[in-house]
Amino acid sequence: NAGVTQTPKFQVLKTGQSMTLQCAQDMNHEYMSWYRQDPGMGLRLIHYSVGAGITDQGEVPNGYNVSRSTTEDFPLRLLSAAPSQTSVYFCASRPGQGASYEQYFGPGTRLTVT
Amino acid sequence: GDSVTQMEGPVTLSEEACLTINCTYTATGYPSLFWYVQYPGEGLQLLLKATKADDKGSNKGFEATYRKETTSFHLEKGSVQVSDSAVYFCALSDSGYALNFGKGTSLLVTP
């Protein structure tokens, strides 16, 4: 199994540009989520999904959109990038109800917005 | 809401020294507790976990005990190695949907 994969690893955007960060998992996990990591802030939840077609907002959702059309994929869209969105983005997944709450993380995408 | 507080770093230790990283939490329910480790340039890996009071998680010489009475989950290791240099995150999950993380503690172990 590849586990949780993310693309790209690095990205530089200009203010106002849009892009999609890709996340995929091959473990048939029901739950997927996106976090951002900023220095001194730990990881903060952006959006999460408990299954295909079901998404919800986390702690810092503004400026980001998500959708979940398949179990495997959970892309994160930046509609109009801002310098405040410069961060490292991690996707994570875990099995559904009844399983351990442990989450499995991807390797991350480092995004710089100029 | 739920929250995690962990000691601020950076923590610098000599090889073979003892390590303790303090972590306390606030939660309305009965959360599961985790320690994750992030090596330089990499993603997060689960180090250990505990799902109920008095459980002890252990892995790679690291240990942490779920203390409900003190709402704590301190990470300990008796003898650290240079390869343990990393950032350590304490986290909890109450809902199961996602994790609440502490801000992370950077550990540097010198030879």
Q: Please tell me whether residue B84 adopts helix, strand or coil conformation.
A: helix
pLDDT in tens, A60-81: 999 999 999 999 999 999 999 9
A93 within 8 A of B40, measured Cβ to Cβ: no
**Token code pair at residue B38:** 């992030």
pLDDT in tens, chain B (111 residues): 889 999 888 999 999 999 999 999 999 888 999 999 999 888 899 999 999 999 999 999 999 999 999 999 999 999 999 999 999 999 999 877 889 999 999 999 999
B9 within 8 A of B103, measured Cβ to Cβ: no
Integer Cα distance of A62 and A9 in angstroms: 22
The confidence score (pLDDT) of residue B8 equals 84
How far does B36 lie from chain A, in Å, by closest CA? 10
| Residue of chain A whose Cα is closest to the Cα of B90 | A42
| Main-chain phi, psi angles of B82, to 5 degrees | -55, -35
Indicate whether A98 pLDDT > 70: no
Integer Cα distance of A9 and A107 in angstroms: 8
The confidence score (pLDDT) of residue A99 equals 62
Integer Cα distance of B27 and B31 in angstroms: 7
How far does A72 lie from chain B, in Å, by closest CA? 17
A103 touching B, CB under 8 A? Answer: yes
Could you tell me the maximum CA-CA distance found in chain B, to the nearest angstrom?
43
What confidence category does residue A45 fall into, taking pLDDT thresholds of 50, 70 and 90?
Answer: very high
In eight-state DSSP terms, residue B40 is: T
Nearest by CB to A107, from B43, B93, B101: name it. B43
pLDDT in tens, A81-96: 999 999 999 999 998 7
